[in-house]
Every structure is written in structure tokens, then in C-alpha cells.
Amino acid sequence: MDDLLIKEPLDGSRINLHEPYEVNYWCKKFKCTVKELQDAVRAVGVSAAKVQAYLH
């Protein structure tokens, strides 16, 4: 069962698109849409640093 109190990723170095709270967190952090986040992860992988560089 999902813990609804979790608001931030457990592993801040990787992006998990399968957890809605993580998608919301990363979209706010990177100031991007869900589609932009998904496209970035497809392009460079799940590394948060690589996704951030790709988006900015």
C-alpha cells in the first residue's frame, strides 16, 4: 500500500515516473509539465541531474 504522507522521492538522484507523488515533485522542482518530464526521462534516462540539464 502506498504511503500518502510521502511527498519527496526516497532516492533524490533518480526519477521514478511510476509514482505520482514523485512526478509531481519533479515537475515542481524543474518547473515543467508531466509530458516534458516524461520526454526528458526518455531522452536521457532516470538520472535527476541529467534530466535537469536536459530541461534547462
Is there a contact between 15 and 43 (Cβ–Cβ < 8 Å)? no
**How far apart, in whole angstroms, are the C-alpha atoms of residue 49 and residue 15?**
10
Q: Which residue has the cell 504511503?
A: 3
* pLDDT above 80 for 3: no
Is 33 among the domain residues? yes
Is 47 among the domain residues? yes
Is 7 among the domain residues? no
Is 31 among the domain residues? yes
* pLDDT of the residue at 7: 73
Mean pLDDT (the chain) is: 91
47 lies in which domain range? 20-55
Provide the domain count of the chain: 1
Q: Give the global pTM.
A: 0.85
Is 10 among the domain residues? no
* pLDDT of the residue at 54: 97
* pLDDT of the residue at 20: 92
pLDDT in tens, 4-30: 666 778 788 999 999 999 999 999 999
